[in-house]
Homo-oligomer: A and B are copies of this chain.
Amino acid sequence: MERVPEVTEKLEVDQRVRLNRDRVLRAAVSLADDIGIDWLSMRRLAQELRVVPMALYKHVSNKEELLDGMVEAVVAEIDPPAAGVDWKSAVRLRVLSARHSLQRHPWARRVLESRTTKTPAVLAYMDSFIGIFLAGGFSADLAHHVMHALGGRMWGFTQELFEDPAAPVGQAAMPPAIQDVTLQQMAQLYPNIAVIAASSAHDNASVVGQGCDDQFEFEFALDLLLDGFERLHRQGWSSRPRDARQRADG
């Protein structure tokens, strides 16, 4: 009867329960979701946890490790691979599931790509991924190169860098008249981009450069690769010409 109220009062007075690594990581993930990775700082995170900045260092040894832990946390959310389907469907499902998970954390792509040291969850994911190919009868050799070819797409990342071919030119807040002029100038300077922008504008019946269907682009590229993998696999492709499996079979 005595100690319970005491504890309760504690919790009321200073809201915070004891910190631990997991609470730190989960707070970091959701803070990054909210304010963006660029504005995530040790100090800001500490403030969120109602704690002094240096307190965090009792749970992660530095910011790099915090980021590692954050990646670890979101990668751990990815569903396990589907069982009992052919390799192609299995890969497709797994990638799309990863994509779905990682899309909830827009910062994850950049952070994942910036990590150099691979953490256990990351390695486990890649391992299970390779497992799908091997189980599908791929040689280690082919599986290896195929993983490289997949690259970031194994996480469900669409390759940035060509997002909305026209939009980036229409800067921030411009009067529409000026935007029109800029658009015309742009069409003159970059006629081929203009062609594509016009074509995709028809496609989704919206204004020029409205943006692209990310999911479509992703699946387009993914299926292109998967079909390529399948072809190589069927013809017994090998990177070692001396094996001559390709020539022998193909």
A residues with CB within 8 A of B: 110, 112-114, 116-118, 120, 123-124, 126-131, 134, 139-141, 143-145, 147-155, 158-162, 165, 168-169, 171, 186, 189-193, 195-196, 198-200, 203, 212, 216-217, 220-221, 224-225, 227-229, 232, 239-240
Complexed CA–CA distance, A114 and B192 (Å): 24
Q: Is the CB of A140 within 8 A of B198?
A: yes
Output the nearest chain B residue to A120 by Cβ-Cβ distance.
B189
Determine if A144 and B239 form an interchain contact, defined as CB atoms under 8 angstroms apart.
Answer: no
B162 touches A158 (CB 8 A): no
In the complex, 18 of the A-B residue pairs with CB atoms within 8 angstroms, ordered by the A residue number, are: A110-B114, A118-B169, A123-B193, A126-B165, A126-B190, A127-B189, A130-B195, A131-B192, A134-B195, A140-B195, A144-B165, A144-B196, A145-B216, A149-B159, A151-B161, A151-B221, A152-B161, A203-B239
Q: A130-B195, A152-B161, A155-B161 are in contact. List 8 more A-B contacts (CB 8 A).
A: A118-B168, A130-B196, A140-B199, A147-B162, A147-B196, A149-B159, A203-B239, A225-B225
Would B152 and A160 count as touching, CB distance under 8 A? yes
- A162 with B169: CB separation less than 8 A: no
Structural contact, B161 and A199, CB atoms closer than 8 A = no
In the complex, A222 Cα to B173 Cα: how many Å?
A: 39
Q: Which residue of B lies closest to A223 (CB)?
A: B228
Contact between chains at A144 and B200 (CB < 8 Å)? yes
Task: Tell whether, in the assembled complex, residue A113 and residue B189 are in contact, meaning their CB atoms are under 8 Å apart.
Answer: no
Are B239 and A216 within 8 A (Cβ)? yes
